Structure formats: C-alpha cells, structure tokens
Structure 1
Amino acid sequence: MYPQTHVYFAETVLGKQGDIVTLGSILPDMLIGKDFNHNEAHSKGVEIYNFAGKDSLILDFGKAVSTHGFNPKGLDYYGDEKYLDYERGYCFEKARPFIARTVEACNIPVEMGWWKAHNIIEMGVETIISSTDYYSERIKTALYNRCLINKVDEILRELWKKSSLNFARRVERFAGFVEIERATAESLAKKYYIQMQFRHHVEIDVKMVTKLINDAAESVILDLNDFFNITSGLVKNNIEALLNE
C-alpha cells in the first residue's frame, strides 16, 4: 500500500497517533535499497520491537513497523501476498480486470502487468484514504521532525551496526519520491511517472494512469472497509502474539 494508507492502518490497529507511529508505519518502504531488499525491509518489525527493551518510544515504533509488512503479517502481506481464500492478496485480486489497460498505459511487458496493476489498485485506495483525514499533514510533520529522525537514525545504526544506512538521507529521498500532499489520481499518476522512469526506464501515459486510478478507486469502494476491518483484526492478533513471545 501507499504511505497515507499505512498511516491510517497503523493508527487503526494501534489506537493512537503521533510522529513515531507515522514514521514506523512507513519505515519499511524507506529501508528498501542496497542494505535491504523488499522482503527484508518488510520483515524488520520483530527485530526492532525486540531491540526496544523497555524504551516505550522504540516499542511504539516497532509496533507501528509491524503493522506494515510481511513478518509479522501486516497490511502489505494481506494486500499483496494472501488474503482470505484469494490466490494472492486483496490488491492483486482486485487488479485482475486492470492488467491489460495497465500494460498499455505504463508501456510495460505483459509479464509485469499484474504487478503494476496492483499498484494501480493501491493508488486508488490511497486517494480514498487521503480524502478522509489529514494523513498528508501527519506524514509531513513526521518527516520534518528532525529530532525524531535523528533519534531513529541512532536506533537503527545501533541495531544494524554493519549497514551503511543513512536514515536521514532515506527520509529526504522518500519525501521527494512519493506523494506526501493530499493524494489525487492525477498527483499519484505524476509521481508514478517519476517512479517508473527511475525503476524501469519507461514513460507512462499520465492521463491514462489517472483514469485507471480513478476507476480503481471505484472498483474497491464496496468492499474496502471490510478488507480493512478484517485485516486490522488479524494484524492486532499478530502483534499481540509478538508481544507475548
């Protein structure tokens, strides 16, 4: 899922707001790079939580990270990997009708279609969530909280001594790479243009992708709340199991 959706979800699961929750909820996507691949970055919640000891700030940070990824099973697990009796996660299953149009709009090979169509669904979800509250403001507040960024940087350097992680630099790069203002289909499509150029060296049709994102939002509107209600309950249980280990 996209950042504002992760903030919403972490707040729902943990029942609290704050810069530490916001930052933890989006951390896995900021970790992806030369130190950690996608799967590794999305499996750090347990490690961070166990490192916390009795430090309540780091404990909350670890819990927020744990709402996001694959281990423990968080939002992206149920969105990408497996949800209920679906073959894959919710976003992949909802993406099936969008594959052909995504291939055309994004100028990509057919074999990349399902993967990128699931991004279209995620962006549709992001527009819905972004319109419901001030999630963009919460993200900006957290990303510009230099004291907190420095604190988290110290924590991660201590935890992963052998890594070359520069968290402050990761935060700066992330803020320029994703939509941190109120998300619309057009604004997300423009950011996606940059992301697809950077990652795959292709140029997408922004107008076509904007239309796809709007259509994706319409396609999930009837069962999105059910997905979040079911998934938040599952993730709460997963985090409680983590606490009791």
Structure 2
Amino acid sequence: MYPQTHVYFAEKVFGRLSEPLALGSVFPDIAQGIVPDRQKSHGCGAEILAYMREQDNDEDLLDFARGVITHGIKPAGLDYYGDEKFLSYERGYCFEKGRVLIDETIKACRLPPTMGWWKTHNIIEMGIELHLSNFNSYGKVLSAAFVNIDLLTRLSQYLGHFYAIEPALLKQRILRFAGFIEISQVTAASLAARYDLQMFAKHHLHIDIPHVAHLIKQAITIVTGDLTDFFTYVLDKVKHNLITLHAID
C-alpha cells in the first residue's frame, strides 16, 4: 500500500496517531532500498519490537515498532493481505483487483507484459490512497515526522545497529524517501507524477502521466464495493498479532 494508506490503517488499529507510529507504519518501504531483501524490510516487525524493548523501552521507540508491525508481511500486516495473499485469491487484494487493468497499465506505463500485473497492483494502491485522502490528510503527520530531526536521529541510531547499517546512511535514506512520496494533498495527477519519478528511478521508464492518473481514478471504482470489508478483515488479523506480541491491550 501507499504511505497515507499505511498511516490511515495504523490509526484504525490503535485509535490514535503519533509521529513515531506514522513513521513506523511506512518504514518497511524506506528500509526496502537499503536492506538485502523483502523479508528483511517487511518481515522483521516482531524483531524490531523486541529490540526496542531491550533498549530504553522508550514509548516513541515502541510506537515506531508498533507501526512497523501494521505494515509488513511477517507478522502479517497490511502489505501481506494487500500484496501476498488474501482469502482464496492467487495473490493479495490489490493484485486481484488490478487484473482488469493489466492491459491498460502496460500501455500507460510503457511496460513489458511481464511487469503488467505487478505494476497494476500499484495503480490499485494509488486509487486507495486517493480515496482515503478524501477523509483526512494523513500526510500532515508524516510531514511532521520527517522534519522531527531528534526522532529521526534516535531511530537511525537504534535501527542502524539493528540492521548493521551506518546510522547516517539510514537517516539520509529516510529523508530522501520523503521526496519520493506524496505527503501533501493527494490528487490522481500528483500520484501519477510521483509514480513517474519512481518508475524512472527503478526502471528508467517514463509513464504517460495523464493516462495513469485516469487509471488511478478507475481504481477507486474497482475497490469501492469491498474495500471496507478488506480493511475490517485485516484490522482484526493485525490486532490479533499485536495482542499476541503484547504490543496492544
């Protein structure tokens, strides 16, 4: 899922938001660029929580770890059910919903066919991001977190030790990530423009921005019927994980 969706979901889980919680809820995507694989970036939530408990047991650090757990694939968080597996679908919710847009996404993003389904699930995620932004500006708390230098410095020190990465490099990665995502007022056009930056950075491809913006709007219609049910199902599963880890009452 996209950043503001992760913040929205973290708020649904805990009934509140804080800067560390919001930052934790997007951190696996930040880590993905500097750790060896998806298991390390998206599958270490429980380990990060345990590590933070061994340190100062500081509430900000624990809130960050709680946010990480809501995002990842192990224990199963929002990205597990959105990307990996949901109910009886072949893959996650966003992949399944994206099937009907594969051909159009290949055209709009100028992709080889083998990348079509993968990138189409991003279109669905952006549609969800746009839809949720109508209810609240979840980017505000992210913006505040990204300029909270004291918080970023402390987290970089602890996480640098956890991942065996130089803290300054990790802090730089966090700050750089803020420039690649949309944390202001979300529109289909702004999401498509950011996606163009991401696609060029990853694949040296430029997309048809107006066409992708149109597909993002279509994605909202595709998920409207069962998106609430999806979040309700995942919310129950993630809360159970957090209770098991003694991270929530």
TM-score tier (shorter): over 0.9
Q: CA deviation at 1:159?
A: 2.3
Residue of structure 1 in register with 2:9 after alignment: 9
Q: CA deviation at 1:60?
A: 1.8
Q: 2:161 aligns with which of 148, 158, 162?
A: 158
What are the residue-to-residue correspondences of 1:220-239 with 2, within 5 Å? 220-239=223-242
Q: Distance in 2 between matches of 1:222 and 1:193?
A: 28
Q: CA deviation at 1:151?
A: 1.3
Q: Distance in 2 between matches of 1:69 and 1:30?
A: 12
What are the residue-to-residue correspondences of 1:93-104 with 2, within 5 Å? 93-104=96-107
CA distances 1:138-194 after superposition (whole Å, capped 9, x unpaired): 11011111111111112112323x323523211221111111111111000001111
Q: Distance in 2 between matches of 1:35 and 1:164?
A: 12
Tell me which stretches of 4 or more aligned residues in structure 1 moved more than 4 Å.
none
Q: Distance in 2 between matches of 1:182 and 1:147?
A: 26
What are the residue-to-residue correspondences of 1:23-172 with 2, within 5 Å? 23-53=23-53, 54-160=57-163, 162-165=164-167, 166-172=169-175
Q: Distance in 2 between matches of 1:222 and 1:96?
A: 16
Q: Note if contact 1:4-1:135 (Cα within 8 Å) is conserved in structure 2.
A: yes
Q: CA deviation at 1:57?
A: 2.4
Structure 1: segments with no counterpart, 5+ residues: none
Normalising by structure 1, report the TM-score. Answer: 0.95
Q: Distance in 1 between matches of 2:199 and 2:58?
A: 39
Q: Note if contact 1:72-1:239 (Cα within 8 Å) is conserved in structure 2.
A: no
What SS does the corresponding residue of 2:207 show, helix, strand or coil? coil
Q: Distance in 2 between matches of 1:15 and 1:51?
A: 24
Which stretch of the first structure deviates more once superposed, 234-243 or 113-122? 234-243
Residue of structure 2 in register with 1:203 after alignment: 206
Q: Distance in 2 between matches of 1:77 and 1:145?
A: 29
Instruction: Report the residue type matching 2:123 in the other structure.
Output: I
What SS does the corresponding residue of 1:148 show, helix, strand or coil? helix
Instruction: Report the residue type matching 1:76 in the other structure.
Output: D
CA-based RMSD: 1.3
Q: Distance in 1 between matches of 2:10 and 2:181?
A: 18
Q: Note if contact 1:131-1:182 (Cα within 8 Å) is conserved in structure 2.
A: no
Instruction: Report the residue type matching 1:194 in the other structure.
Output: L
Q: Note if contact 1:46-1:242 (Cα within 8 Å) is conserved in structure 2.
A: yes
CA distances 1:27-53 after superposition (whole Å, capped 9, x unpaired): 101111243323320112111100122
What SS does the corresponding residue of 2:175 show, helix, strand or coil? helix
Q: Are 2:218 and 1:215 aligned?
A: yes
Q: CA deviation at 1:129?
A: 1.0
- Percent identity among equivalent residues? 45
Structure 2: segments with no counterpart, 5+ residues: none
CA distances 1:194-237 after superposition (whole Å, capped 9, x unpaired): 11111111111011101000000111112111111111111111
Instruction: Report the residue type matching 2:98 in the other structure.
Output: A
Structure 1 pair 118–69 and aligned structure 2 pair: CA distance change class (3 A): same
Instruction: Report the residue type matching 1:66 in the other structure.
Output: I
